[in-house]
Amino acid sequence: MSKTIVIGVTGSIAAYKTADIVSQLRQRGHEIFVVMTPGAKNFITPLTLQTLSRHPVLHDLSQEGAPTEMSWHPGHIELADQADLLLVAPATASAIARLAHGFADDALGAVALATRAPLLIAPAMNGKMWDHPATQENVLRLRQRGVEFIGPASGMLACGYEGAGRLIESSAIIDHVEKLLSEK
């Protein structure tokens, strides 16, 4: 059954992979709305994700319009209310820290605080950043609030090191999204 999925994209080298995730989930019949951090725009353009999702991309709280024609709510509140699931893929160390502490200083943080939809996070970062106690404390804090994580996978990382930190395969993310949506 068609669901509304809000996909948060953050400033990781793996952000280009979100294009495939957006495309595949849309082809499965879901409504996809993308929210980007300012940092994510260094790695993939809103235009790409707007085209693949077939909806405007929210990336600037001060410039947001309503995401749907029927809506008068601020864009981030409308998305938060409509979402059946919030997926953040890839999630940077920085974004995980902000989500753990409830920052709403960008569109993604605002949607994450305003929604009551389940939150699924797919981290991507250097292995030492992932292993760092600061990141692990933030992950634990989120898990204790019921947030689910998928990955990261181990292997050769874009930064040149090997270890845990790769964005897990798109197919695994999509399967997990479908599982969470079927439980709703």
Which residue among the candidates 77, 159, 164, 172 is catalytic per the annotation? 159
Q: What residues line the site for ligand FMN (CB under 6 A)? A: 10-14, 37, 39-40, 92-95, 124-125, 129
DSSP 52-79: HHTSPPB--GGG---SSTT--S-HHHHH
Known catalytic residue: 152? Answer: no
- Give residue for tokens 């964005």: 167
Rounded Cα–Cα distance for residues 111 and 131 (Å): 27
Burial group, residue 108, by CB count within 10 angstroms (0-12, 13-18, 19+): buried
| Nearer to ligand FMN among residue 102 and residue 184 (C-beta) | 102
Closer to ligand FMN by Cβ: residue 94 or 170: 94
Residue nearest ligand FMN, CB atom distance: 39
35/113 Cα distance (integer angstroms): 14
CB of 158 to ligand FMN, least distance (A): 7
Q: Which is nearer to ligand FMN, 111 or 181 (CB)?
A: 111
Q: Which is nearer to ligand FMN, 50 or 71 (CB)?
A: 50
How far the first Cα of the chain sits from its last, in Å, is: 11
| Helix/strand/coil percent split, the chain, to 5 | 45, 20, 35
> Shortest distance, CB of residue 89 to ligand FMN, whole angstroms?
12
List 153's β-bridge partners, or say none: 166
Q: How far is the CB of 94 from ligand FMN (least distance, A)?
A: 4
Least Å distance, CB 4 to ligand FMN, is 23
Could you list the active site residues?
159
